[in-house]
Amino acid sequence: MYRKLIIAAPYLWLLIFFLAPFAIVLRISLADPVIAQPPYSPTYSPDSFTFLLTDKLYAITYLRSVIMAAGATLLCLALGFPMAYGIARCQPATRNMLLLLIILPFWISFLLRVYAWMGLMNNYGAINNLLMWLGIVDQPVQLMYTDFAIFVGLAYSYLPFMILPLYATLERMDLDLVEAAQDLGASRSRAFWDVTWPLARPGVIAGCLLVFIPAMGEYVIPYLLGGSESLLIGRVLFDEFFVNRDWPLASAVAVILLLLLVVPIVLLQRYQARDQEGTA
C-alpha cells in the first residue's frame, strides 16, 4: 500500500502538471478564436492547424528554431566535452572546485546574465572595444540583435547542462580501457573514437537533450539578444498568445512544438532499447 503510494507519486505529478495542462492546451488549439473571456469558442474546429500547416512562415520559423537549437547544442558539445573530460581527469579536490565553478553562474539570475551579454556585445561594449583597440576592426561590428548573438546566448546559458551529464559518464569510465586500446595498437585518437566516445554516448545523449529541448522553445534569449526580424518559435508563441490574443493558434503552435520534441526522444529511446536487446 505504502509502496504503491510512493510509486504513484511521480505519475500523479506528471498527470497534474503535464498531462492535464497539455489536455487543456490541446482543447484550446481545436477551438476558434473569439473576442470574449476566455478568448476561444466552446466549439471544435481544425482551422488553427490548417492555417499553421499552410502558412510557410510558421514552417520557416520552426525550421529556424531547430537549426538554432541544434547549432547551439553542437557548440555546447564541442566546448563541453573537452571541459568535462578535463574535469573528470583532475585530482578530486581540483575536480570539486571546477564543478563548483561550472555551477556558480546559477547563483545569479538568468535574466541578469543575459543582460550582461548585451553589455558585452553592443556596439560600444567590451568585445567591440577590445577588437578596435587591437586594431582588428576600425568601426564596431554589429553583434547585438543578430542570430550570432542568439547563438552565443544559447550556448553560454546551456553549457552547464551539457557539461554535468558528460562529466558524470566520463568520471565513471575506467581509464584502463583507453590504455588497453592503445596497448592493442590504437593510437591516442583512435583509442578515443573506439573507446571513450562510445562509452560516453549516454552522457552525450543526455546532455544534448538537456540543451536542445529548452533551447528549442527559448524565448528570453532571442527576445533580448536577437533582432526584431529574427523569428523563433518561442517568440511566435508569445506573440500569438499575448499580442494577437489568438489562443487557439498559439496552442496549436505549442502542440506542434511538443510533437517536434517528443518524436525524436521516442525514436531515440526505441533505438537505445534495441541496442540493449542486442547485448542480451
Partner 1 sequence: MKDFIRLRGVSKKFGDFVAVDNVDLDIERGELFSILGGSGCGKTTLLRMLAGFELPTSGSIEIDGVDVTDQPPYERHVNMMFQSYAVFPHMTVEKNIGYGLRKEKLPQPEIAKRVDEMLELVQLQELRSRKPDQLSGGQRQRVALARALIKQPKVLLLDEPLAALDKKLRERTQFELMNIQDELGITFVVVTHDQEEAMTLSSRIAVMDRGQFRQIGTPKEIYEFPSNRFVAEFIGTINTFSGHVTARDEDSISVAATEAGVTLTALGKQAVEEGQQIEIAIRPEKIFVSKEKPDDGDAVCLPGVVDDLGYLGNRSLYRIRLESGKIVQVSSQNRRRSVTRFLEWEDKVWISWRPRSAVVLLD
Contact residues: partner 1, CB under 8 A: 174, 176-177, 179-187, 190, 194-195, 198-199, 279-280
Quick one: cell of 164?
Answer: 554535468
Give the Cα separation of 181 and 31 in Å (integer): 60
Residue placing its CB nearer to partner 1 in the complex, 201 or 245? 201
Residue placing its CB nearer to partner 1 in the complex, 195 or 249? 195
Side chain identity, residue 99: L
Residue placing its CB nearer to partner 1 in the complex, 195 or 236? 195
CB of 201 to partner 1, least distance (A): 9
Residue placing its CB nearer to partner 1 in the complex, 101 or 180? 180
Choose among 151, 3, 186: nearest CA to 79.
151
Choose among 256, 157, 247: nearest CA to 210.
157
CB of 91 to partner 1, least distance (A): 13
CB of 175 to partner 1, least distance (A): 9
Q: How far is CA 90 from the centre of its chain?
A: 28
Give the Cα separation of 276 and 269 in Å (integer): 10
**Which of the 8 DSSP states describes residue 33?**
B
CB of 202 to partner 1, least distance (A): 11
Residue placing its CB nearer to partner 1 in the complex, 195 or 250? 195
Q: Do residues 118 and 225 lie in contact, with contact meaning Cβ atoms separated by under 8 Å? A: yes
Residue placing its CB nearer to partner 1 in the complex, 181 or 216? 181
CB of 182 to partner 1, least distance (A): 5
CB of 166 to partner 1, least distance (A): 17
CB of 280 to partner 1, least distance (A): 8
Residue placing its CB nearer to partner 1 in the complex, 109 or 279? 279
**Main-chain phi, psi angles of 121, to 5 degrees:** -100, -5
Side chain identity, residue 115: Y
Give the Cα separation of 151 and 138 in Å (integer): 24
**Which of the 8 DSSP states describes residue 177?**
H
19 φ/ψ sector (left φ>0, alpha ψ -120 to 50, else beta) = alpha
Quick one: cell of 235?
Answer: 517568440
Residue 24 makes CB contacts below 8 A (sequence gap 6+) with none
